[in-house]
Structure formats: C-alpha cells, structure tokens
Amino acid sequence: MQATMKRRRKQSPLKSRIDELPSDIMKSIFNSLSFNNLVQAKSVSSSWNILGEELLSKMPWLMLPSKKQVEEGDGTDVDNNGYHGFLSLSENHVYSLKTAPKEFSEGCCIGSSRGWLLFLQEKAVPCLFNPLKRVKIELPSVDRLLGLKRMERNVNGEYELDYFNSAERGSRRFLFRSCGKQQVRDCFVRKAILSGKPDDKNGKYGVVLLCNNGEDIVYHRSGDNCWTGLDVNRPPYQDIICHGNYLYALSDRNRIEVWDLHGRDGSVKKKSDIAVPFPDKSLAKLNSLRDVCTRRFYLVESCGELLFVVRFIGDYVDWDGTLLHEYDLLTEDCNHPKVCPYRTCLFHVYKMDFDKLRWVEMDTLGDRALFLGGNQSVSVSARCFPNCEKDCIYFSDDCWERMEEDYLYGGHDMGIYSLKDGSLKPIYEFSSDKIQPPPCWIIPDTTVLES
C-alpha cells in the first residue's frame, strides 16, 4: 500500500505542470512573497529555484552580527566576530542565519560589490563569496603585495603577522605583530570591488583592491594566477569604483585617475588623470570643524554622472548631537570621562562638470539613493527597492582606524541621511555601540535592475 501511494504521488500532475505557468504571472506572485516564503518556494521545482535566486539576488541586504552577540558581549571577544543575520531593506526585517558560513567568522570582510562579499583569509588569501548562493571563489594570495610573510589566525581570533624585510616593503611600516579584523581593513585592504560579475554567462570579471594604507591599487583578472599592481602616481587614495570597463580612483589630493581594465592587448592602461579643485563649500566646512571632525570622500556613478560625496564624522558626539573636543570628555564631577562615540553628522554631494572640470553641488538626488561604507559606493533608483527612501544616503561605518580604539564603541556609525532636510535616522538599532563586525551592505548589480 505504501509503495502504491509513493507511485501515485510521483504521478501527480500538479508538480509536473508547475513549470507550465506563464513566467510573467510567476514573477508577479514571487515579487509579493516574503523572504521566508521565497526560500520555501525555491524548493518546489528547478524553475522556481532559479526565479527565487534571481529575486533574492536583487534585494539589498545589511549584513549584521547577531543581536545577542552584540548586546551580551563586552567588546573584547574578537573570536566571535562573525555575521549571523541580515536586515532586509524591502521588508525592514532581520533574518538570522541558523548556520553561518565559516567565511563570516574566520575571514575578514574587505569589501562588498555587485552582490558578492570579499574576504581576506589566513595566509593573505582573498576569496569571493556569494552569501545567498553559498558560492566561494578562491583568489591568488596577496601576501607579498601586503609585505606579509605570515598571516595566521590565533585562538583569540586575532591575526598573527610576520613581515618581509623593510627593503621589500618599501616605506610602509607596521608596528604590530598581531591585530584585529578592523586593523587588517585599515592597514592592509581598505576596499575591494568587482568589475563584472563572477556569475555572468561569459564568466569574465576582475577584482580590484585598495591596499597598504591606500597607497597601492592591485588588479586581478579572472583566469589569471596573479595580481597586477597599477602604476599609481598620487597616493594615498580615498575610494575606488568600477564602471563599465574603467576603474576610477579618488586621490587624497582630489585628483581622479582613470584606468582602462580591458586594453586591446589585455593590459591595464591609464586613460586619464583629472585635476579638480576641491569644492569651496566643503573646504570651508572642513576648516570650521577641523578640531572636532574627520572626513571621508567617496566616488559614485549615478545615471551616467560622476558624483563626489564628502562625509563629515564628528570625533566625539554627545547624545544630543553636539560635537565635542576630546578635553570636553573630562569633567570635574565624574571619575571617568564621558563616552561620546564618533558619529556621522553631515554629507555634501557634488557632480562632475567635465566641460569646466569642477564639482557642482547637488541639492537633491531625485529618486536616487546612495549606499556608502565598506561596500562599493553605489547609486540606486528607489523605485527598484521597496521601502528604499529617495533623496537619501544609506551609510555604514567605515572608520576602520577607530573601530578598535575603545571597547564601548566601534562599527556603530550607520544610518540614513536625508539630503532634503539634513536629518539623520537609524537603519537598525542595537543597545550597544560596540558592533563587530561592522554592518556591511550587500547591494545587487544595479545595472541589471535598471536596464
């Protein structure tokens, strides 16, 4: 009887006819499903699995450590620094991972680009990881490029380091023999981005690293077994982006260097070196806040325009948003200094006028939203992402040099900034300001979404 039932179940016409449903109807139905329902629907048939993966890969996610880990930790347990969930921007809901990939805890996240995460593992071996498909691609080691003879993770979760001699490392000098993940990000690989997508049909893509305190830029083309160092002229660099076949690098001196990553002979060639005066408005603001603020600079491609974003970060910010000097933390009526973490307080946005070679201030982003932080800086249409607010900047903490200076804060500086009225509001709130690893955006390839 049981065998008969099994045969009848296999012969049921329902499952065999599922794939016959019109694709436009299925996409309409799938677009209305929650994340959990999408995951369950993926298991029904091969065509539903493909459609489910396609939709999941088009959602923006904010990777998060577990709330329990953050709120019960004291900031000293670096061994437990791993992502354990993600915030769905479209649903404004946090999903926990029952089993987090080992890359989340054992590797140091060095970038996010086109829906992929990039990690630096032991022995200075980078890898690409797609968190939704659980696909991993190992890349050639960058040990010599970083001047590292040895990079091993100890039982405390820190990296133990040995270096090649100073002659081989040039002028770079690192003063520590062990370091946490955010020190790795600060000193060794500040940003890692993709040109092209590893899951495209042609399988051609490239990886670009901004490394060694922003002094070097290196490139790896898929299929090669090595990295190519670019002949940079104006280090250190603040940001890098890829658009089309070109790499744009923003120098600390407000110059933009452009490289063609797909030259005719297969080599990487510099196309141009653009000098643009720093915007007067931002320069005046930086001068007025020089004692209480630091800054970050970003490049963003948006609808064919090249944008320049200035982020102002208060060094010590009180609960009411007041910018303080370090000496303001010491008061006569308390035995301990006030705890006032660094926080973002302001953004300026400009677009490039290529005819006059100057930055033009933007009062509005229109229906666009920017995503800035440890990820590749991107601009998206708010219409493509439910619950995404237009004319806003979504930012995460990328102040790597300060994340481990205090056990009470670090990784916390994230939020939504309205360019319209200058207001700030949280994306997601923890009860602690010590959030490790720092939340990281995973943004899909917007060229696919908006084409």
pLDDT at 397: 97
pLDDT at 142: 96
User: pTM of the prediction?
Assistant: 0.88
Mean pLDDT, consecutive 10-residue stretches, the chain (451 aa), reads: 44 54 77 70 76 72 80 51 81 80 88 95 94 90 92 88 66 67 90 90 88 95 94 93 94 91 83 95 96 97 96 96 91 77 98 96 97 96 86 97 92 97 93 91 70 48
pLDDT at 168: 45
- Which pair of tokens denotes residue 18? 């599922």
pLDDT at 114: 93
pLDDT at 51: 78
pLDDT at 102: 85
